[in-house]
Amino acid sequence: MINKIQDSKFSLNRARGLRLEPKALRLNKGFTLLELIVVLFIVVLGFSVIGVNLSSGNDATELKVAARDIVSALRFARGQALMSHQETTVTLNLANNTYTVSKRDKVYPIRKTIAVTLVTAQRELSGEGTGNIRFFADGSSTGGRITLKHGKAAWKIDINWLTGQIELNDTEPSK
| Domain count of the fold of the chain | 1
CATH of the domain at 112: 3.55.40.10
For the stretch 60-97, pLDDT in tens is 888 999 999 999 999 999 999 999 999 999 999 999 99
Q: Is residue 161 part of a domain?
A: yes
Q: Is residue 3 part of a domain?
A: no
Q: Is residue 130 part of a domain?
A: yes
For the stretch 125-136, pLDDT in tens is 987 899 999 999
Q: Minimal CA–CA distance to 87: which of 139, 126, 160?
A: 139
Provide the residue range defining the domain that includes 149. Answer: 59-171
Predicted pLDDT of residue 99 = 97
Q: Is residue 38 part of a domain?
A: no
Does the CA dihedral 89-90-95-96 come out positive or negative?
Answer: positive
The rounded mean pLDDT for the chain is 84
- Asked if the model's pLDDT at residue 56 lies above 80, the reply is no
> Contact, 95 vs 66, CB < 8 A?
no
For the whole model, what pTM was predicted?
0.66
Q: Name the amino acid, one letter, at 96.
A: N
